[in-house]
C-alpha cells in the first residue's frame, strides 16, 4: 500500500522538458526526458549534447531527488548561472529548479519546463484567417493583381495627354504591380529575417486586395469632392476611409508576418498609420510657404455620369463667396 502513496506517483509522472532557447528566449529546440538524472555537456556520452566550445565536456548534471530537480555544476571553466523571472543571475550549482528557469552555460541558454506546465488556451481560427486563406489562394491572388494592373493602367491611360497604345498600357501597369509588390515582399522578408514564417503569398494576397480597396476609396473621394461644395464635411469623412484602410492593411500584415499580442499589433499598426498620415501632414505643414501667390482650390472634375448633387443658384454662390472677403480681411488684420 505504501508504494501507492501520492508523492511517488507524482514523481513518476513528472517529466522534464529542456528547451534550447536563443538569447531573446526564442525556442530553438525542445527535448523531453523521463529519467531521473540528465547529464549535459559537450562530449558524446551526455544525454543532451551542446556543441558550444565554451561548455565543458561534462558540464552539469540535473538530478531528481526528494520530489525536486537539482542542478550540479561539475566545476566547469565558465560556470553555470540561472536566471529567474525578474531576478538577477545567480550561480546555478545546487540550485533547485523551478518551472520556467533559464540556465546559462557557455554561450547557450536552456529553459526548463515541467510536464505539468500550464499552456495557454487554444486560440480558435479567427475570421481573419479564413479571409487570408481565401486571399492567398493563387487564383484569387492572380485575380486581384490583375484587377490592380488594369486599374493602374486605366488611370495611366486617363491621365495621359496623348494617345496610349497597348504596349505603353501594359508596361505602365506592370511597373505599377512590381512597384506595389515591394511592400508585401518587404514585410515577408522582414518576418523571414526575424525567424518567422515569411508567408509571402498571404502578404501579397492581403496587400493587393487592400490596394484595390484603396483605389476604390480614391475614387469615392473624387466623387465626393466633385459633388460637394467647399463648405461640405463629406470629403473629410471619406478621407477617414483611406486612413482606416491603411490601418487595416498594416494590422493584417503584422497578423500574418509576426507573432505578437493583439494589443501590440494594434499599437504597431496604429503607430505606422499615424506616422504615414500625420508625418505626411507635418511635412506638408512645415513646407508650407509663408505666403502663397497662387490660390488653393479643389478642381475635381468627373464625367457627368458621376454628377449626383444638384447645383446651387448664382445667388447662393455669390452669398457664399461674399463670406471669403470677411476671412481675407481678418487675415489682413492679423499680420
Partner 1 sequence: MKAFFTLVLLLLSHSSCATEQAEQLFNQLKPSLYQIKLIDKASGEKSSIGSGFQITADGLIATNYHVISSYALHPKKYRIEYLDTQGKQGLLTLQSVDVINDLALVKRDVTQVMPFFELSNATPQKGEQLFSLGNPHDLGMIVVPGTYNGLKKESFSERIHFTGSINSGMSGGPVVNKLAKVVGVNVATSGNAIGFLVPHDKLVKLYNAFLVAPPASIEQQMAAQLSASQEKLIAQIMNSPWQAKKLGEHGSIPIIDVPFIRCWGDSNADKVDALILTAVANCSLDENTYISGNFFTGSMEIEFRTMQAKDIGSNKFYHLYQQQIARAGAGNRAGKDNVTDYQCHHDLVMPENKAINNKSVFCTRAYKKFPDLYDVLYLSASIDKEKQALVSHFTIAGINQNNALAFTRKFMEAVSWN
Using CB under 8 A, list all residues that contact partner 1.
Answer: 157-159, 161-163, 226-227, 229-231, 290-305, 307, 309-314, 316-318, 320-325, 327-329, 331-332, 335
Give kind and range of the element (H or E) at residue 83.
Answer: strand 80-83
CB of 223 to partner 1, least distance (A): 12
CB of 216 to partner 1, least distance (A): 16
Tell how far CA 288 is from the center of its chain. 33
CB of 319 to partner 1, least distance (A): 9
Residue 322, classed as helix, strand or coil, is helix
CB of 176 to partner 1, least distance (A): 17
- Which one, of 99, 80, 98, lies nearest residue 89 by Cα? 80
CB of 221 to partner 1, least distance (A): 14
Query: Smaller CB distance to partner 1: residue 229 or 240?
Result: 229
Query: Smaller CB distance to partner 1: residue 197 or 320?
Result: 320
In this structure, are residues 199 and 187 in contact, taking their beta carbons and an 8 Å threshold? no
Query: Smaller CB distance to partner 1: residue 29 or 335?
Result: 335
- 48-49 vs 37-41, strand pairing mode: parallel
CB of 147 to partner 1, least distance (A): 18
Query: Smaller CB distance to partner 1: residue 263 or 327?
Result: 327
Query: Smaller CB distance to partner 1: residue 99 or 218?
Result: 218
In this structure, are residues 60 and 71 in contact, taking their beta carbons and an 8 Å threshold? yes
d(CA 31, CA 8): 23
| Long-range residue pairs from 179-185, CB within 8 A, at least 24 positions apart, any chain | 180/148, 180/207, 180/208, 180/211, 181/207, 181/208, 183/207, 184/208, 184/253
The end-to-end CA distance of the chain, in Å, is 99
Query: Smaller CB distance to partner 1: residue 84 or 227?
Result: 227
CB of 220 to partner 1, least distance (A): 16
- The DSSP-derived string for 131-166 is HHHHHHSHHHHHHHHHHHHHHHHHHHHHH-SS---H
Query: Smaller CB distance to partner 1: residue 51 or 293?
Result: 293
d(CA 300, CA 225): 6
Residue 111, classed as helix, strand or coil, is strand
d(CA 241, CA 220): 9
CB of 329 to partner 1, least distance (A): 5
Query: Smaller CB distance to partner 1: residue 193 or 332?
Result: 332
Amino acid at each position: 500500500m505504501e508504494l501507492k502513496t501520492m508523492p511517488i506517483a507524482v514523481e513518476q509522472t513528472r517529466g522534464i522538458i529542456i528547451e534550447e532557447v536563443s538569447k531573446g528566449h526564442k525556442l530553438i529546440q525542445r527535448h523531453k526526458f523521463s529519467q531521473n538524472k540528465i547529464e549535459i555537456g559537450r562530449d558524446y556520452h551526455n544525454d543532451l549534447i551542446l556543441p558550444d566550445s565554451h561548455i565543458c565536456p561534462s558540464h552539469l548534471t540535473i538530478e531528481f531527488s526528494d520530489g525536486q530537480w537539482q542542478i550540479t555544476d561539475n566545476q566547469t571553466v565558465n560556470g553555470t548561472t540561472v536566471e529567474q523571472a525578474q531576478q538577477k543571475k545567480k550561480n546555478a550549482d545546487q540550485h533547485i529548479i523551478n518551472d520556467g528557469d533559464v540556465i546559462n552555460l557557455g554561450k547557450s541558454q536552456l529553459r526548463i519546463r515541467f510536464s505539468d506546465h500550464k499552456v495557454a488556451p487554444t486560440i480558435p481560427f479567427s475570421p481573419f484567417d479564413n479571409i487570408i486563406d481565401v486571399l492567398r489562394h493563387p487564383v484569387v491572388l492572380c485575380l486581384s493583381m490583375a484587377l490592380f494592373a488594369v486599374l493602374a493602367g486605366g488611370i495611366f491611360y486617363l491621365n495621359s495627354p496623348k494617345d496610349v497604345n497597348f504596349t505603353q498600357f501594359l508596361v505602365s501597369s506592370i511597373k505599377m504591380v512590381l512597384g506595389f509588390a515591394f511592400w508585401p515582399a518587404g514585410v515577408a522578408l522582414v518576418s523571414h529575417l526575424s525567424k518567422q514564417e515569411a508567408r509571402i503569398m498571404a502578404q501579397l494576397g492581403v496587400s493587393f486586395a487592400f490596394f484595390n480597396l484603396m483605389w476604390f476609396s480614391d475614387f469615392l473621394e473624387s466623387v465626393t469632392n466633385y459633388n460637394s461644395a467647399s463648405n461640405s464635411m463629406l470629403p473629410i469623412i471619406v478621407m477617414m476611409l483611406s486612413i482606416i484602410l491603411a490601418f487595416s492593411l498594416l494590422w493584417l500584415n503584422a497578423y500574418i508576418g509576426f507573432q505578437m499580442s493583439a494589443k501590440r499589433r494594434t499599437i504597431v499598426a496604429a503607430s505606422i498609420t499615424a506616422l504615414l498620415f500625420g508625418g505626411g501632414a507635418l511635412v506638408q505643414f512645415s513646407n508650407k510657404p509663408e505666403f502663397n501667390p497662387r490660390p488653393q482650390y479643389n478642381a475635381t472634375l468627373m464625367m457627368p455620369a458621376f454628377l449626383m448633387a444638384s447645383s446651387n443658384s448664382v445667388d447662393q454662390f455669390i452669398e457664399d463667396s461674399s463670406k471669403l472677403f470677411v476671412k481675407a480681411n481678418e487675415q489682413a488684420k492679423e499680420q
